[in-house]
Amino acid sequence: MTQVATLYLGRLPHLGELFELFNAGKHLNRVAEPALWAELEKEQEQYQSLFASLGFNLRLDGRGFAWFHFDNASSNVGRTTRQLALLFMLLFELKADEGTYLERFTDWRLDRGLLAMLMERGHDLLQAEGLDEESLASLLDRACTHGFAEAVAGGWRLLPAVWRYLDHFEALASQQAGDADESVGLDDLDGTTEEDETP
C-alpha cells in the first residue's frame, strides 16, 4: 500500500503548490499558469482522486480553469464574492449594450476609463455596496489574487475563471425568462474569498 501511494504521489510533483492555491480559494487558469495547468490536465484523474480522498472536490472546466468546489456553501455570501458579482454584472451589461461579444471577455482590457464608466452607469448600486472608483480598482486587484483577473500594462485582463460568473448571470437571465419560481444564488460561486467576510 505504501508503494502504491509513493508511486501515485511521484506523478504529482506540484501537488503541494496546487493544493495551497486551491485551498486558498484561488483559481488556476490555463492562460496565466500554463505549466501548472498542463500538469493538472495531464494528471487530472490522479489529482481529483487524491483531493477527493482528502474531502475536496476539484473541478476542471474545459474552457481553461480549475478550483475547489464546495457543495455546502454558506448562504452568507462573502463580501468580495458579492462585490465581484456586482462589478462583473455591470461590466457584462455595459459590453452587451455596446454590442460586444461577451464570450470574448478574456480579450478585453479594463482600465481606469472603463471603471469611471461603470461608476457612472451603476452609481446607485455601487454606492449602496460602498464602492467608488478607487475601491473598484482594489476589487480588481483582489480578483487577481483569486485567479479571476491579471494585471497588465495600464489595467487588468479577465481570466477564464470569470466564466463562473458569466455562466451564473446567463442562468439567472434564462431563469427569469422561463421559470421565475426557482432561484439561482451566489452560493454557486463558492470558494472565492473567505478572508473578506467583514465590512
Give the per-residue pLDDT at 186.
Answer: 61
Q: How confident is the model at residue 197 (pLDDT cuts 50, 70, 90)?
A: very low
Give the per-residue pLDDT at 7.
Answer: 41
Burial class (CB in 10 A: 0-12, 13-18, 19+), 88: buried
**pLDDT tens per residue across span 81-93:** 889 999 999 999 9
Give the per-residue pLDDT at 77.
Answer: 52
Q: Among 38-42, 50-54, 61-65, 186-190, whose mean pLDDT is lowest?
A: 186-190
Q: How confident is the model at residue 189 (pLDDT cuts 50, 70, 90)?
A: low
**Domain residue limits, the chain:** 2-69, 79-181
So what CATH class is 2-69?
mainly alpha
- 158 phi/psi in degrees, rounded to 5: -75, 145
In this chain, the answer to whether the domains covering 2-69 and 79-181 adopt an identical fold is: yes
- Whether the predicted pLDDT of 196 surpasses 60: no
CATH architecture of 79-181: Orthogonal Bundle (1.10)
Q: Among 10-14, 35-39, 96-100, whose mean pLDDT is lowest?
A: 10-14
- Whether the predicted pLDDT of 9 surpasses 60: yes
* Mean pLDDT confidence for 104-126: 95
Please state the pTM of the whole predicted model. 0.80
